[in-house]
Structure 1
Amino acid sequence: MADPSEERQAAAARARENADPHENRAPIPRYVLAMVAALVAWGAFYIVTSESEQPSALGDSRTLADLQGKPKGAGGGAVDGAAVFQARCVACHQATGQGLPGVFPPLAGSEWVVGQEARLASIVLRGVTGKLTVKGTAYNGAMPAFADQLSDAEIAAVLTHVRSQWGNTAGPVTAEAVAAARTQTATMAAPFDGDAALGSPGG
């Protein structure tokens, strides 16, 4: 027969225990479901009724014309010659236009730069290898051809830039002059062979 005191102790121990946890159903409140349904319906209505093909001013007030940019002018007026020089020429000819002694000739005071624009445009278009004499000094570096890398307007702009910098005072070069030089030298398969091919700047 069980001891009544032990039964009382067991009952007291059971009374002190918490009930085992269990998961109750917690459905989403109806007002939340109603809000979600309303948002979905509004989004569908907006997509169906909006005119997606109509060009419109953007949120920052720019238009499609602003994003497309300005067309390049025929004479290179819309092209920044200084920027082209910085991107394509400064590594060899330096920001000062002095070049690198014995390797890359200077543009500052160069008779080639301030000479005939057709000759100068042809040099930039087709490149030069071999000995080239600039300001009485022979240089044996190689200048790459830019005919396939720069447009007529870009070449005109950069040549106009260098002809007006570092004390140079020659006139501007037009895109038309570059286009004519491009046509005249179109059959060249290799760069100019320095002095042997170009002669003197005034020749």
Structure 2
Amino acid sequence: MSNPQNDIRAQRRENEDPEEAVRPMPLSALLIAIGMVLWAVVYILRTEPLDMAAFGDQRTRAELSGPAAPAAGAAVDGKALFAAQCAACHQATGKGLPGVFPPLDGSEWVTGEPRILANILLHGITGEITVAGQKYQGAMPSFAQLSDAELAGLASYIRSSWSNQAEPLNAELLAKERADGSARSTPFEGGAALKALVK
């Protein structure tokens, strides 16, 4: 049987249960928290809406929807077409991605025979191609959905940009190559097939 005096002594050795009243939250911290919440509410209510043109990159919806088809006789913005159609792979610098996407800057395919570049744009290319001494294995899609004027503007831009100093292409050449290759439904298979165009 337990001794009641021992039980009382054991209870006295135990610590009291903690209570919040022992260490209440400082009044100054509570006032600071309330002040910050009130300031945030007032700030949000007084600021202007976030859909203002001053935010973001400030491009209009028309600019983001891509280049419109040019009117007959209008100049084509080859740089804008390049940014929309080609820069994702070949990069804005024209340097491409080593081992993945070939460079356009200093490419013999870009600055060489105009017919070859016209056909690459019209029909695309798949398989192995050597550019600036490095081999690439991949595929480039056809851009035949673009008009002859747009393709000429795009080709002229890449032939005269970066370190390239080649003559521009005209829409008549693209129209002729489009008509001559109308029977082709597949991309060119590698660089050898492209070289065969000018033999």
Q: In which range does the TM-score fall when normalised by the shorter chain?
A: 0.5 to 0.7
- Name 1:116's counterpart in structure 2: 113
Distance apart, 1:141 and its partner CA: 1.7
Counterpart of 2:186?
190
Cα offset for 1:72?
3.3
Which runs of 5 or more residues in structure 1 are unaligned?
1-68
State whether structure 2 residue 115 is matched by structure 1 residue 107. no
Q: Secondary structure at the match of 2:130?
A: strand
Q: Does 1:130 align with 2:136?
A: no
Work out whether 1:178 is the aligned partner of 2:174.
yes
TM-score (norm: length of structure 1):
0.61
CA distance, structure 2, for counterparts of residue 108 and residue 129 of structure 1 = 20
Q: CA deviation at 1:116?
A: 1.1
Q: Hey, what does 1:81 align to over in structure 2?
A: 78
Matches within 5 A, 1:16-165: 71-73=71-73, 78-147=75-144, 149-165=145-161
For the 8 Å contact 1:116–1:201, the answer to whether it is kept is no
SS of the residue aligned with 1:141?
Answer: strand
TM-score normalised over the length of structure 2? 0.62
Whether the 8 Å contact between 2:123 and 2:141 is mirrored in structure 1 is yes
193-202 or 122-131, larger mean C-alpha shift: 193-202
Deviations 1:115-163 (A, max 9, x none): 111111011100000001111111112100111x200000000000000
Structure 2 vs 1, CA of residues 81 and 182 (structure 1 numbering), >3 Å: closer, same or farther?
same
**2:163, 2:79 → 1: CA distance?**
15
Q: Matches of 1:201 and 1:97 in 2, distance apart? A: 25
* Cα RMSD for the two superposed structures: 1.9
Contact 1:112–1:201 (Cα < 8 Å) also in 2 = no
Give the deviation of 1:197 after TM superposition: 1.1
Q: Is the 8 A contact 2:105 2:164 kept in 1?
A: yes
The count of aligned residue pairs is: 131
Q: Deviations over 1:35-72 (max 9, x none)?
A: xxxxxxxxxxxxxxxxxxxxxxxxxxxxxxxxxx9723
Is contact 1:111-1:134 (8 Å) kept? Answer: yes
Contact 1:164 1:170 in 2 (8 A): yes
Kindly state the Cα deviation for residue 200 of structure 1 after the two structures are TM-superposed. Answer: 7.5
Q: Distance in 2 between matches of 1:167 and 1:70?
A: 28
Aligned in 2, Cα 1:71/1:191: closer, same or farther, shift over 3 Å? same
What does residue 42 of structure 2 align with?
A: none
List gaps (5 residues or longer) in structure 2.
Answer: 1-68
Q: Aligned equivalents of 1:103 and 1:72: distance in 2?
A: 37
Distance of aligned partners of 1:124 and 1:139 in 2 relative to their CA distance in 1, 3 Å threshold: same
Say which structure is richer in helix: 2
